[in-house]
Amino acid sequence: MQKQHSLSKNQQIILDLIVKSSEPLKAYSILFNVQKKGINAPLQVYRALDKLVEIGKIHKIESRNAFIACQNSSCQISKATAFSICESCENVSEISNSKLSKYLANFADEAGMKYNKYNLEFFGLCKKCK
Amino acid sequence: MQKQHSLSKNQQIILDLIVKSSEPLKAYSILFNVQKKGINAPLQVYRALDKLVEIGKIHKIESRNAFIACQNSSCQISKATAFSICESCENVSEISNSKLSKYLANFADEAGMKYNKYNLEFFGLCKKCK
DNA sequence: TAACAGTATGTAATAATATAACATTTATGA
DNA sequence: TCATAAATGTTATATTATTACATACTGTTA
Ligand SMILES: [Zn+2]
Ligand SMILES: [Zn+2]
Ligand SMILES: [Zn+2]
Ligand SMILES: [Zn+2]
C-alpha cells in the first residue's frame, strides 16, 4: 500500500469541484467557483492544483489548460496519461487501455532516452458529434 | 503533390528564426527577436505561428508553450506528432517512428471515436543528463 | 511539552501567454 | 478589373501562471 495523502482544506475543496464537474475546468473558473468557500487568490488555486496533479488525483489537459479528475483508481497512471478530446463539444475522457500503456512504456525503453512520464492526447469527434 | 504554401513575409521571418534555433522558442521570445525586422506586436507573431502550425512547418510543444520546427519532411505528420522532452536540459526532439505512428493510428481506429490528430509527449532525461 | 521540519495558507503584485476588435493592404484567380 | 481570401498593422484587453514575503498548521522526535 502506498501512503494515503490526506488532503488539506483547499486541496479538498478544489478536488471536490473538479470531481463533480462533467468537463475539464480551468484555473480561473475554479477560482470563481470556490470564492464562496474562502479561496480568494489564483495562487491558492494553482498550489492546490499542483499538489493534486502531483499525487495523481487530477490531470492537466495540456492542450486546453484545464484540469480533469483522474478516472482511474491507479496512482501510477498519473505518469502515463492518455486522453481523447472532442474538438466539437470539448468533451474529454481519460483512456485506460493496458495494451496502449504497455506499448508506450516499452517504446520508451527502446529509445535511447530514459523516460519517466508520457502524455498522449487524441483529437477528433466524439460519438455525439460525428 | 500537395499545394506548396508560399509563405508570407512575417511567416517566413518567424519560420527562419525557429528553424535555426536549437531549442523550442516561446512566442514572446520570438517577438523580441524579430522586432528588428519590423514585427512589433504579439498578434503578428501568433498569427504567423498559427499558420505555420496549420501547414505543418512547426509544432507546438503543448507542455512548454513553445514552438519547434518540424524535423520530418512529411506534411502528414503534423497531425500525428510525438516528442521526447528532457526534463533537465529541456532539449526537445521530434520522434519519427513508423511503428509508433502506425500503432497510434490503429489505436485510434479501434476506439469508438473518429480521431483526426494526436500529440504525444514523452518526458525523461536525455543521454547527456542521465 | 518543546523544538523542529515540512507542508500549507494568505495576500499583493506582477509576469507570461494569448485573443478581440477594427482598419487597411496585398495576393490570387475568375 | 473585379471579387475574394489571406495577410498585415495597431491598440487594447483577456487569460494563464508565478514571485515574493509573511504567517500558520501538522506531524515527528527529543
Ligand atoms: Zn488518471
Ligand atoms: Zn463531441
Ligand atoms: Zn513534424
Ligand atoms: Zn537533457
**How far, rounded to the nearest angstrom, does the alpha carbon of residue B128 sit from its chain's CA centroid?**
23
pTM of the model: 0.94
Q: What pLDDT does residue B114 have?
A: 82
Mean pLDDT computed over every residue of chain A: 92
B109 band by pLDDT with thresholds 50, 70 and 90: confident
Query: Contacts from A71-78 at CB under 8 Å and sequence distance 24+?
Result: A71/A96, A72/A96, A75/A2, A77/A101, A78/A53
Given a cut of 90, whether residue A125 has pLDDT beyond it is yes
Given a cut of 70, whether residue B1 has pLDDT beyond it is no
Residues of chain A found within 8 Å of residue B78, distances taken between Cβ atoms: none
Q: Are B69 and B58 in contact (CB under 8 A)?
A: yes
Give the CATH architecture of domain B9-69.
Answer: Orthogonal Bundle (1.10)
Q: What pLDDT does residue B78 have?
A: 80
The amino acid at A117? K
DSSP state of A25: B
Distance from C-alpha of B83 to C-alpha of A35, rounded to nearest angstrom:
38
Q: In Å, what is the separation between the CA of B44 and the C1' of C24?
A: 15
Q: What pLDDT does residue B111 have?
A: 73
Q: Provide the positions of strand D that have an atom within 7 A of a protein CB.
A: 6-13, 15-20, 27
Q: Does domain B80-124 bear CATH number 3.30.1490.190?
A: yes
Region(s) of chain A under CATH 3.30.1490.190? 80-124
Average of per-residue pLDDT across A68-97:
89
Of A62, A117, A122, the CB nearest to B118: A122
Higher-scoring residue by pLDDT: B74, B2 = B74
Region(s) of chain B under CATH 1.10.10.10? 9-69
Residue with cell 475543496: A13
Distance from C-alpha of A92 to C-alpha of A112, rounded to nearest angstrom:
32
**SS3 state at A126:** coil
